[in-house]
Homo-oligomer: A and B are copies of this chain.
Amino acid sequence: MTTTRARPALPLTDLAACCSPPPGRVLDPAEADRLAGVLKALAEPNRLRLVSMIAANAVGGATCVCDLIEPLGLSQPTVSHHLKVLTDAGLLTREQRGKWAYFSLIPGALAAVAAAITPAGVPE
């Protein structure tokens, strides 16, 4: 079981819609709720490492779960659980190929989250 919200995968279009607020605009409760759900999925060290591993492998295509177990030093069920949380959050796609599942980043999904947490018009 997962402790994150049991809701359908976040459509990228919905996330993108919340990610380009005009400068100075305050997030409304629905936008904040949606964004918090995605950030909760990311806010776990092993899940962040999984995302970076899948990103590092992106030029080679999708990444087999079988190649993610040894580098993390976790059991396969634990790795699969973390990958499910990231998939449910709308950050990864999953494709079954015979015995193994393969995972890819959804193009633009992480960039949309990054844009959503960076307030427009704030001096850096």
Contacts and interface: CB of A to CB of B under 8 A. Distances in A.
A24, A113, A117: residue with the most chain B Cβ atoms closer than 10 Å: A117
22 contacts: A26-B53, A26-B56, A32-B52, A35-B45, A36-B44, A36-B48, A39-B39, A39-B42, A39-B48, A40-B43, A48-B117, A55-B119, A56-B119, A58-B121, A105-B122, A110-B118, A110-B122, A111-B118, A114-B114, A114-B115, A114-B117, A114-B118
Interface of A: 21, 24-27, 29, 32-33, 35-36, 39-40, 42-49, 51-53, 55-56, 58-59, 71, 105, 107-108, 110-111, 113-115, 117-119, 121-124
Closest 4 CB pairs of A and B: A55-B119, A39-B43, A114-B114, A32-B45
